[in-house]
Structure 1
Amino acid sequence: MPKKRKQRRIIDTDVHERVMYSDLLPYLDNPWRRYIEDNHWLQEKHMPYTQPTVAGVDRADAVTPDGGAAGTDLAFMQEQLLDAEGHEYAILSGALDPSPSSMHGWYEMGTALASAYNDWQIENWLEKDSRLYGSVHIAAQDPQQAVREIERVGPHPKMVQVLLPIDTRSWGIRTIIRFMKQPSAINYRLVCIIMSHRRISEAGRAILSSGIPCCQRRI
């Protein structure tokens, strides 16, 4: 008798849920809410490369049944990805455009967006499916505020990493050290992954990179 093959365990570490600006309004205080609600504020696109595919960075078949943007419908993602592929766990890495860390100059708005996003993610995704785990979004340009945000939502049992986004800047290990030197930050066993289109070696050469794990937290 042939041996029965073990069912493979799938832990997807890069699932992109997407929030719309209107979804964040209940989680934003003024004046940040008014910039979006009254002035229709939008940040310019920050992706540092072209998107030649039909659906941009999205899969064309990931558009929701009602025509919404890919990643905006939890039930559809559960059906299309988690249930269909048999995921045991999935870690959300977000699709917020703009990402708080990509804002060049307006750090206060970036910090507000990061906090709103984290609260939205916990309430609308993490608490509605036991398979889902989340990423702490921060405005990395302001290390003190970033650490405060890690302190605020990092202890949540479904948060397993700190996320820095794809951007034109090269975050490098020094950025991470600025966070990890904070005594309060290192108390949380968080995965910190630098999502950058490149990083620079000591010799000055660009190294393509999609993620650099620094430390981990067991799910």
Structure 2
Amino acid sequence: MNVMIDPRRERAERVKPNPIDSRSSAYKVIDTDFHIAPKWDALRAYMKEPFKSELTRYPLVGSDYSPKYATGLDGTGQDVLGTASTAAEILAVLDQIGVETVICSPGFQRPQSMFHPAMISVLASAYNDFLIHEVFPVSPRIKASIMINHRDPLAGAMEIRRVGENPGFVAVYTEFGGNYEPIGSSKHDPIFDEANKRNLVVIAHIGMFWQQMTPLAQGTRTWTELVGLSSMCTAITSVGSMIMQGLFDKYPDLHITIQEGGFWWLPDFMARADDYYLNHPGDIKLVERKVEAGEKFLSKLPSEYFDSNVRFSSQPVCFPKDPKHFKYLMEMCKGEDWLMYSSDWPHATFDPLNWVFHSHISEAGRKKILTENAARWYGRL
């Protein structure tokens, strides 16, 4: 008879160790993806009418599958470790998880998935004003990305112009998801224009509560498919659109951070993109940016844009069964140079920083992943 084990218990013991590895105290750790979830009434206080009166609770977004079947927990898995609604609560958590500086992301339901685009713009502005008035003044350890309505690129660009000079903001927050046109397409250039002018990194975070409404998701049934695998596929699509549609030729200094889309797919992506491009480059001249610029080809091979333009927040870190294979993957993916630590606190997918010390990573690599890579990438830190 087979002996049943509880996979949740086994997983929890592996990825949520207590305490945090004491060696982390020697580093000024930067957490590049930590979620703040302001109270709804705190956000409403910064909304304009008629939304302030009408939006008495957070608007609903689509979700056809409850993750409680997979996690054994009620809710969405977004607040497994708690909720940080204020600057004081953020600072308390940072001290517990060994982090010195944090770059906050919105921690509520997926904002881009709201039915009504005007609600997205209003919520984005309220969230940004909440940070400006109630979070940034409390501590220089707390930074954040500007929330925008990227479904309306002109509105998104306007919001960047409105708040983008505030030193608390180091990035612009966008999402990639199965319902959205990939953010690398030229329709989003108003957003890239404004971010690029202000030395703001553009963050592409997993979005769309599920990748539903797309052929990718129509046959899915499980949390692993919906979150673990389809998010990786849409991240690949988004990065492909950025490179192949000439985003980085138009904005050679633009920095993009991919969050929660994985990164072990990089070796195959780079080899495959280079091979296909070299053998079939004729349609590059037809994409919007190349038509505008009067150019026929990319300025370099697809794989060569990563060094200059794309980085990855580390969560989720997935380990091969054979430890030596982790070392190989880190080498092939240039992990010590391209990865930036992220915890994803307080979600069920939380990754504490202990893995950096318990794997085949050099001391120089630990410093890069925990601190130096992010400090160089985010020019306004």
TM-score category, normalised to shorter length: 0.7 to 0.9
**Counterpart position of 1:66:** none
Gaps of 5+ in 2: 1-22, 207-230, 242-259, 264-309, 313-376
The 5-angstrom pairing of residues 46-65 of structure 1 reads 46=62, 50-51=66-67, 52-53=70-71, 54=73, 56-58=76-78, 60-62=80-82
**Counterpart position of 1:174:** 185
Gaps of 5+ in 1: 63-69
Matched, 1:36 2:63: no
**Counterpart position of 1:76:** 89
AA at the equivalent of 1:147: A
Matched, 1:9 2:25: no
1:156/1:46 CA distance change after superposition, 3 Å: farther
AA at the equivalent of 1:127: P
- Identify the match of residue 133 of structure 1 among 143, 158, 174: 143
Q: Which segment is superposed worse, 156-165 or 48-57?
A: 48-57
Counterpart Cα distance in 2 of 1:75 and 1:14 = 18
The 5-angstrom pairing of residues 80-95 of structure 1 reads 81-95=93-107
Deviation at 1:141, TM superposition (A): 1.2
Deviation at 1:175, TM superposition (A): 5.8
Give per-residue Cα distances to partners, 1:175-218, cap 9 Å, x unaligned.
68523564x44311111111133245469xxxx82696597434
Large movers: runs of 4+ above 6 Å: none
SS of the aligned residue for 2:26 comes to coil
Q: Is the 8 A contact 1:46 1:97 kept in 2?
A: no
Q: Which segment is superposed worse, 19-28 or 147-156?
A: 19-28
The 5-angstrom pairing of residues 135-150 of structure 1 reads 135-150=145-160
AA at the equivalent of 1:60: V
1:127/1:191 CA distance change after superposition, 3 Å: same
Q: Is the 8 A contact 1:140 1:164 kept in 2?
A: yes
SS of the aligned residue for 1:217 comes to coil
Counterpart Cα distance in 1 of 2:122 and 2:24 = 49
What TM-score do the two structures reach when normalised by structure 2? 0.46
Matched, 1:45 2:61: yes
1:210/1:192 CA distance change after superposition, 3 Å: farther
AA at the equivalent of 1:209: G
SS of the aligned residue for 1:139 comes to coil
Aligned-residue Cα RMSD (Å) equals: 3.2
Give per-residue Cα distances to partners, 1:126-164, cap 9 Å, x unaligned.
221210001100011111111010011111111011111
**Counterpart position of 1:188:** 198
Instruction: Give aligned pairs, total.
Output: 198
Deviation at 1:89, TM superposition (A): 0.8
- Identify the match of residue 121 of structure 1 among 125, 131, 142: 131
Q: Is the 8 A contact 1:162 1:193 kept in 2?
A: yes
Q: Give percent identity, aligned residues only.
A: 24
Deviation at 1:82, TM superposition (A): 1.4
Q: Is the 8 A contact 2:153 2:191 kept in 1?
A: no
What TM-score do the two structures reach when normalised by structure 1? 0.75
Q: Is the 8 A contact 2:150 2:188 kept in 1?
A: no
Point out which structure has higher relative CO (alpha carbons under 8 A, 6+ apart): 2
AA at the equivalent of 1:217: G
SS of the aligned residue for 1:127 comes to helix
Give per-residue Cα distances to partners, 1:161-180, cap 9 Å, x unaligned.
11113644243311685235
